[in-house]
Structures are given as structure tokens and as C-alpha cells.
Amino acid sequence: MSEWADELNLFHFPPSKAPHLLNPLVLAYIGDAIFEVYIRQYVISQTNHRPNHLHQTATKYVSAKAQAKLLETLMPLLTQEEKDVVKRGRNAKSGSTAKNAEVLEYRHSTAFECLVGYLYYTQSYARLKELLDFVMASKADAGK
């Protein structure tokens, strides 16, 4: 394991099943939390720490619409295994929808979170960091 992985693995509660056996909505549940922490750390690394600004900036990344776009950016880079996880997440029936997103955006957002959760639970930390860093760099380049 890399140094980054050792530091990230401060949570010592493994899932009750192997990651590939978990319901995709369970993977999305943890993926949502992992991505939220990643984004919060990114936002705090910036200079403006006013609470309202922190929240507004984070929302640009963690909304269903934003996550759907991030997934679109990632798709060409994904392995077949990762694409299969995305497909499972996209097709999962959650029984709810996002308040401010189209159904397709919400499904793609769930797929993105499912992928993040899967990579986290398979302890593919270097790959997770690589993909998240890539989408952040892509978003920064798009803003220029």
C-alpha cells in the first residue's frame, strides 16, 4: 500500500460483504461520503474559508448535475471492471430522486458515487486518487 493509502485508511470497519457483492446503492452511499470529504479538503485548501463560500464551492462539485458531468469526463479512462461498476450504479433503483436534477443526471451521479465507493472498499486508493485528481484538474482547466 502507498503512504497515502495508509493514511486514508483511518476507518477500520470493513463492509460486511466483499465489495463486488454489495448493493450498488450501498457503494454509492459510502462513495458519496468519501467524495464529500475529498471535496471539503480541496475547498479548505483554497484561500477563502468563509462558511458560505465553502458550502457554495463544494456544491459545485457534489451536486447530482456536477457528479454526472464528472462521470462523463472519467468514462474514457475507466477499465472494463470500473465501467461495469458504473453500469451497476446507474441501473440501481433508489426509489428517490434529486430535488434539482433530471432523472438521468441523478442516475449518473449515483453511478459516479458507486464507483468511488467501490474503489474505496477495494482499497484501490491510488486509482481513486488518480481519477478524482483527474476530474479536479479537468474542471479547473474548463474554468480557464
- Cβ atoms within 10 A of the Cβ of 7, count? 10
Long-range contacts of 89-94 (CB under 8 A, 24+ apart): 89/24, 89/27, 89/28, 89/113, 89/114, 89/115, 90/114, 91/24, 92/23, 92/24, 92/25, 92/28, 94/25
Q: Which of 6, 32, 84, 141 is catalytic?
A: 32
Per the annotation, the verdict on 141 as an active-site residue is no
What is the spatial distance between Cα 5 and Cα 141, in angstroms, rounded to a whole number? Answer: 27
- Cβ atoms within 10 A of the Cβ of 111, count? 27
The catalytic residues are 32
